[in-house]
Structure 1
Amino acid sequence: MTIAGSIVLIMLGAVLTWAVEFTVAGVDIQVIGVILMLGGLAGLLFGLYRMNAVRRATPVVPVDEATTRRVYEERRYDDPI
């Protein structure tokens, strides 16, 4: 789940919990809203953890002038206009 998807779930759950006064027989809309908010919060925390883990796992390789190979490209524009 992406971070944006988690935020959408949190917003949808908040709307269902506090803004909707619709009743369905056998279903509590407020409880569904709380469940969606908790699921969105869990997805948000997991997404942030995963993003932080990827940033830490990326190695930083120092650039060494002796081992770096540079390629220069020359172009001639002799074609008539």
Structure 2
Amino acid sequence: MGIGGSILLIVVGAIMTFGLDNKDLGPFNLDTIGWILQIAGLVGLVLTLYFWNSRRRTVVVPPPAGNTAIPPTTDEVVEERRMRRY
């Protein structure tokens, strides 16, 4: 859902709960629908932040024991590129 979708649900739910005078729309109560949208948005926001935080953890791997450094060499590599023009 993401942060934007969660905030949108919270805002729409708050408008339906606190901003409307007519509380009934046929068989539906707009206060109840507004509270449900706000709770769904809050749960989505918490889950999004939790998964973003758990994804950013890094694992530090210690270097291997012993002398594993690659010794320097005296060999040189020369790269030549030839371009064909048609």
Instruction: State the TM-score, normalizing by the size of structure 1.
Output: 0.68
Indicate the RMSD between aligned Cα atoms, in angstroms: 1.9
Partner of 1:33: 34
How many residues are treated as equivalent by the alignment? 63
1:4 aligns with 2:13: no
Per-residue deviation, residues 5-26 of structure 1 (Å, max 9, x unmatched): 1011001000000001233121
Task: Kindly indicate which of the two structures has a greater share of residues assigned to helix.
Answer: 1
Per-residue deviation, residues 5-63 of structure 1 (Å, max 9, x unmatched): 1011001000000001233121100000000000000000000000000011x34579x
CA distance in 1, matches of 2:15, 2:60: 44
Give the gaps of 5 or more residues in structure 2.
63-68, 71-86
Q: SS where residue 21 of structure 1 aligns?
A: coil
Q: SS where residue 25 of structure 2 aligns?
A: coil
CA distance in 2, matches of 1:60, 1:32: 47
Percent identity between matched residues is 44
- Structure number with greater Rg is 2
- Once superposed, which parts of structure 1, at least 4 consecutive aligned residues long, lie more than 6 Å away? none
1:21 aligns with 2:21: yes
Matched AA of 1:21: D
Task: Kindly indicate which of the two structures has a greater share of residues assigned to strand.
Answer: 2
